[in-house]
Amino acid sequence: MTSAVRYLTEAGFLGKFYIDGEWRKPTGLATAIVVNPAIEQPVAEIALGDDEDVDCAVAAARKAFTGWSRKPAAERAALLDRVHGLLLDRLELFAQAITCEMGAAITYARRAQVPLAAEHIRVARDNLATYPFIAARGSTAIMREAIGVCGLITPWNWPLYQITAKVAPALAAGCTVVLKPSELSPLSALLFAKVMDDADCPPGVFNLVNGAGPVVGTGLASHPQVDMISITGSTRAGVLVAQAAAPTVKRVAQELGGKSPNIILPDADLSRAVPLGVAAAFRNLGQSCSAPTRMLVSRSQMAKVEILAAAAASELVVGDPLAESTTHGPIANPPQFERIQAMIGIGLEEGAKLVIGGPGRPNDLQVGLYAQPTIFSNVNRDMRIAQEEIFGPVLSIIPYDKVDGAVEIANDTVYGLGAHVQGTDIETMQAVAGQIRSGQVHLNYPDWDPNAPFGGYKRSGNGREYGREGMEEYLETKAVLGFYR
């Protein structure tokens, strides 16, 4: 038992929800088992909520909304500041929880999963301090006001990171929230609720109800007292939430699937562009919606790229996520593991060239949901492995003949979340970036920017997270004519 599970067990939080400033028992008896994917063994049992729990949490958020939305921005920022400090103070506890619940290597959890989550809190705090909630346009005042009670639905792959990406800007905007984390990775969410409690969050401003998507997620989406839903998940889940939300005409922000391209221009430094492209595709073991899992390469450079890509993948260390030498742990859950294995098999059946990896676990691992980092080459743009989101460590190398053709292939997808372009001529890269239909484009692997808005075109969703635009998702616009004389 990890220290995180022990802490949650001894505190009694595993069987409770956080509602109206208190840890409360659920109204029903439903539970779910949390499985550690590294050992394929149960590690915790959590309570699952029902419609009554949703009603209770929404009522608490509704009751708290007026007071919280009218708090001065400085007071809301002070809460976020306290949350930020506590989250960093408890970094190791959160890292252990994330490793236990979804298999991230402990080094990656410490280096990325938790610190980047903390950055969302910091950015929301800092943006709140300078945001113009009222501005003049002639004699008219343009006011930006909190939209109301927000239901936040978060996924299992970046459990804490996606929580803070939603909770922080929502609270900064003056909204109150009900969080439904993934029931597959709920441990870090419970720890976050404890942080909110210890940070003296006013009762009802932040609430947490664990539960299944068809019950708690649908309950929030259809609830007449919820003003907005923000969901990160599969495109299928996003569609279902939007359908449930439609009768009440609430705002729905969706960050959904992706099949991001990485265009390696002919003048790129392949010795840098290819290894970093493999690393980007396989970060979090490929369980990232914006992972660039389609590498588009000039046909004349394919042979060299295959060698470089295979060498980069061979350096990855897949194994025990608690080992310091491990770079990549197990796949987060059995359904996702089976999906990855099935898609690798489909790639072989479709005739793609297997460069490295393949089906099954790495040779020395007999227990755990471990997948081999797999690279296919000579992938046709129409193959399923080139079109469908696999959500695992599977990279497709696709040849192109001309740059215009690379752009066409990049856009030949129902998704449009992220994209990458590598090269040496900045004007060419800028021109290519301008033609790609996606919410973000990265040129030559820049540093992550928590102020850069993130979201999708097409079936990758709508709305934006991160930075100023992320907070604006939780605001309504009011025009008051004749306000200024």
Catalytic residue among 119, 255, 306, 389: 255
Catalytic residue among 100, 150, 175, 289: 289
What is the C-alpha R_g of the chain?
23
Q: Distance between CA 450 and CA 207 in Å, rounded? A: 25
Query: Is 289 tagged catalytic?
Result: yes
Cβ-proximal residues to 230 (8 Å cutoff; 6+ apart), any chain: 150, 151, 152, 153, 166, 170, 252, 253, 254, 255, 463, 465, 473
Query: Is 338 tagged catalytic?
Result: no
Provide the residue type at 332 as one letter: A
Provide the residue type at 190 as one letter: L
Q: Which residue has the tokens 């930006």?
A: 144
Cβ-proximal residues to 314 (8 Å cutoff; 6+ apart), any chain: 356
Measuring CA to CA, how many Å separate 419 from each of 258, 455, 468?
Answer: 10, 12, 21
Q: Distance between CA 416 and CA 410 in Å, rounded? A: 9
Query: Which two three-digit tokens encode residue 318?
Result: 């897949």
Measuring CA to CA, how many Å separate 297 from each of 283, 304, 444?
Answer: 20, 10, 15
Q: Distance between CA 175 and CA 69 in Å, rounded? A: 6
Q: Distance between CA 476 and CA 482 in Å, rounded? A: 19
Kindly list the catalytic residues: 255, 289
